[in-house]
Amino acid sequence: MRSGPPESMAQPSRSRRTLALSVGALFVSQLLVAVVPLGVGAVAPFLRTEFGLQRSQVGLASATIFVAVAMCSIPAGRVADSVRVPAALLASTTIVAVGTVGLGSARAVAMLAVSLLVVGVGYSLISPATNKGVIALTPPRLRGRLMGVKQTGVTIGGALAAAALPFGVQRVGFSGTLFIAAAVIGVVGAAAAAAVRRLVASPASDGEPAATDRRRAISPRLRRRVLTLGAATAGMVAAQHVVATYLTLFLVDRRSMTAAAAAGLLTVLHLSGTVARVGWGWVSDRIGSRLATMALIGSVSIASLLALATFGDVMPAWVLVGLVIVLGTATQGGNAVYQVAIAEEDVERAGWASGVGMALGFSGAIVAP
């Protein structure tokens, strides 16, 4: 298994402007597609009101999306390999926009469930498509940090959903807010895909490799490497979601904190993870090894979790805040390194490899919490 980007993948340097615009368009696409899947929690009270759901059923709404993501990620990765990046981006944002229109139009739980599944199908395509874009359009020496920039679209999309969706529901209603969200996702997503298409064809660009011939067999060695990295990713993603799910309960039960104070530390956790996505990518570029960086992230995660479990109820408040920052950096911030490590295993099949990683990773996210 390779420990870093191979020398054979080196590309001629691209213009800074073209590179920045390319990564910016991929970031925007990642952000747009994340708004609805990560916004279910933000509109949970309105889901209960609109559809008469119980608490457990609201939780199933989010699970429905991510079950669809886990089931569809591998075929979505193959689709991303068989078409060019702009087409995959357009398909992802369009499918999510259609699912969001369905959510706004739903009047029964069955229609709600179908729409959530459609959103999940669209979401399953975005990581293979954007990961393939980063691998194809950026030089190896910058891939880690640029993948980190792209991956901050996930957390920023979630933060945007938490801020904008409840505000919109209070102003224009549940359906109106989702229709507006669908229009923004569809229109801006199409513009981002068109921008990537123009940038790929520009003179300053090295271009995008041709679509992969799906008839070419995947070697057993490549399959084993990708599955091994996918299993490691599943463990790390499981830790990410377990911490995000249970940190507030731990703080309330063991520290007797108020729910508001615990939520504030959860925000700190996510903010540190957002910054760390770029930071860990820079570390992996700097030391030239994705695997060594993943091992470091895992070690810091284990140490910080053990410290929280052992001393979390007695340590001073300022130490607790510092530990939460470290915990967020490790458990929430390593996503970009996992993504680039698995995608670099085979540049031509970066979509398929990313799909395997997504499928296994989201399986961990569903089962572990």
DSSP secondary structure string for all residues of 10-26: --PPPPHHHHHHHHHHH
Q: How many angstroms separate the first and last alpha carbons of the chain?
A: 30
Residue 171, Cβ density class (10 Å: 0-12 exposed, 13-18 middle, ≥19 buried) = exposed
Local structure of residue 329 (DSSP, 8 states): I
Which residue is associated with the tokens 């770029």?
A: 278
Q: Do the beta carbons of residue 63 and residue 226 sit within 8 Å?
A: no
49: which residues sit within 8 A by CB, 6+ positions away? Answer: none
132: which residues sit within 8 A by CB, 6+ positions away? Answer: 80, 81, 85, 88, 343, 350, 351, 354
Residues 63, 297: Cα–Cα separation, whole Å = 27
pLDDT at 1: 47
For the cut 80, the answer to whether the pLDDT of residue 245 exceeds it is no
CB burial string 191-225: b at 16+ within 10 A, e below: ebbebbbebbeeeebbebeebbeeeeeeeeeeeeb
13: which residues sit within 8 A by CB, 6+ positions away? Answer: 139
Which residue is associated with the tokens 């970066």?
A: 350
58 vs 192, more confident: 192
The amino acid that residue 262 corresponds to is A
Alpha-carbon distances, residue 96 vs 55, 132, 153, 178, 188 (angstroms): 25, 19, 16, 11, 12
pLDDT at 350: 84
Local structure of residue 209 (DSSP, 8 states): P
Task: Tell which residue, 342, 300, 352, has the closest CA to residue 144.
Answer: 342
Residues 318, 331: Cα–Cα separation, whole Å = 20
Q: Do the beta carbons of residue 211 and residue 82 sit within 8 Å?
A: yes
**Mean pLDDT over each residue of the chain, to the nearest integer:** 86
Residue range 26-73, pLDDT digits in tens: 999 999 999 998 888 778 778 888 888 776 677 778 788 888 988 999
The amino acid that residue 29 corresponds to is S
* pTM metric for this prediction: 0.80
For the cut 70, the answer to whether the pLDDT of residue 209 exceeds it is no
326 vs 80, more confident: 326
Q: Do the beta carbons of residue 59 and residue 327 sit within 8 Å?
A: no
Q: Report H helices in 109-142.
A: 109-137
Taking the C-alpha atoms of 267, 268, 273 and 275 in order, what is their torsion angle to the nearest 10 degrees?
A: 110
Lowest mean pLDDT among 37-41, 55-59, 160-164, 202-206: 202-206
Task: Tell which residue, 361, 339, 70, 321, has the closest CA to residue 240.
Answer: 361
Residue range 319-367, pLDDT digits in tens: 999 999 999 999 999 888 988 998 888 877 888 888 888 888 878 777 7
Task: Tell which residue, 365, 294, 369, 285, has the closest CA to residue 330.
Answer: 294
